Amino acid sequence: MTAAEMNRARRLLCALQDSIRDTLVAAQARQAATFAKVAAVTAADTIYHVDRLSEAAIMAWFEAHWPRAWPVELVMEGLEDGEPATFPHGTPVAQTRFKCILDPIDGTRSYMYDKRSAWSLAGLAVQRGAKNTLGDIVVAAMTELPTSKQWRADQLSAVRGGGVIAEAVDVRGGGERKKISVRPSPADNFEHGFASLARFFPEGKGLLGAVEEQLWQELGVHGKNGGQLVFDDQYISTGGQLHELIVGHDRMLGDLRPLAYAKLGFSAATLCCHPYDICTALIAREAGCVIEAPAGGALNYPLDTTTPVAWMGYANARLARLVRPALRRVMAANF
């Protein structure tokens, strides 16, 4: 893709997510009580009524706005059991130029109870069929889906090598936009800061908690000066976690659930992060964060909705270098 094409694609993904956000903000006022109803259970996740609202908005938007000269395959939850979704509609996948992987609502569980913002996520890669991995994503956008009491929703986007474009959108009407600056934490330690590993559900919570405690012991933080030097925040949204790293709220976040579930013999299918959940890692990297596999290295996962993904995210390279050897020792002892 040329630079001009990537920037056009970035604007398109942002416009798509504007449509999703506005659809859901309007629906909050009319039918928020029905958001939490289960609509379906798929190999990727549990689908709630609120998910169905976003899926319909996506299909309508692509039909109306996606350039016909850019045939694209869509990869998102809710489509696994049907025919491939392509635009223009009916285009054979082999004839598409791009692959767009989406999570329409990442953080559904908190959002549908109006507890915390969810995020709409999208990444675009040049089509390579089954060979596509997360590393192929060259354009990404993530848009906040605010709770009913919020007037501001953030939107972050990036093209590879182009840095991060960040805006705040007033959702009260009119859609006024304002540029904002984002900066990950420059800290070289974890004392008096937020950092944690994901343990959202009862399954695996004990093992994951023990692994994290051992990690802090390895890093010399556990119990130091009476303890309580590292703060925990369980944001049930991979996109939300990336945002917390990007804007400087958290210094380290990670998700080792696939490793824990494999050790415990649990099914990872519906309990883990999947590639569509972390398709906006490009934005975090463009901001200066380190997003990688738990032992270090690239996230070489296919662009699908079902493969379990284990990952670690650090606010900066210094923290990544500090944690990697300790985390490898802890993983070797537990997984």
Written as six digits, the tokens of 297 are 């290295």
Least confident of 50-54, 149-153, 235-239: 50-54
Residue 313's Cβ-count burial label (10 Å; 0-12, 13-18, 19+) is: buried
How does strand 230-231 pair with strand 193-197? parallel
> Does the structure show a pLDDT above 60 at 162?
yes
* CATH 3.40.190.80 residue ranges for the chain: 193-334
Average pLDDT over all residues of the chain: 91
Task: Identify the CA nearest to 334 among candidates 286, 284, 273, 262.
Answer: 262
Residue type, 172: R
**Cα(120)–Cα(16) distance, integer angstroms:** 9
Q: What is the pLDDT of residue 32?
A: 54
Cα angle 288, 201, 228; round to 5: 60
**CA 87 to CA 93: how far, in whole Å?**
9
Q: Which residues pair with 144 in a beta bridge?
A: 119
pLDDT > 60? residue 36 = no
Choosing among 3.30.540.10, 3.40.50.2000, 3.20.20.70, 3.30.465.10, the CATH entry for 3-179 is: 3.30.540.10
Q: Where in the chain is the domain with CATH 3.30.540.10?
A: 3-179
**269 pLDDT more than 80:** no
pLDDT at position 235 is 97
Q: What is the pLDDT of residue 38?
A: 61
- Is it the case that residue 285 has pLDDT exceeding 70? yes
What percentage of residues in the chain have a pLDDT greater than 70?
Answer: 90
* Most confident residue range from 28-42, 194-208, 260-274: 194-208
Range with the lowest mean pLDDT among 45-59, 86-100, 224-238?
Answer: 45-59
Q: What is the mean pLDDT of residues 88-97?
A: 95
Other Cβ atoms closer than 10 A to 94: 8
Per-residue pLDDT of 199-257, as tens digits, reads 999 999 999 999 999 999 999 999 898 888 999 999 999 999 999 999 999 999 999 99
- What is the Cα–Cα distance from 61 to 124, expressed in whole angstroms? 16
Q: What is the SS3 assignment for 277?
A: helix
CATH code of the domain made up of 193-334 = 3.40.190.80
User: Any alpha helices (H) in the chain, and if so which ranges?
Assistant: 3-31, 49-65, 108-111, 205-218, 238-246, 257-264, 281-287, 317-334
Q: Between β-strands 290-292 and 230-231, what pairing exists: parallel, antiparallel or unpaired?
A: unpaired
The pLDDT of residue 81 is 53
The CA radius of gyration of the chain, in Å to the nearest whole number, is 19
User: Which helix (DSSP H) or strand (DSSP E) does residue 279 occupy?
Assistant: none
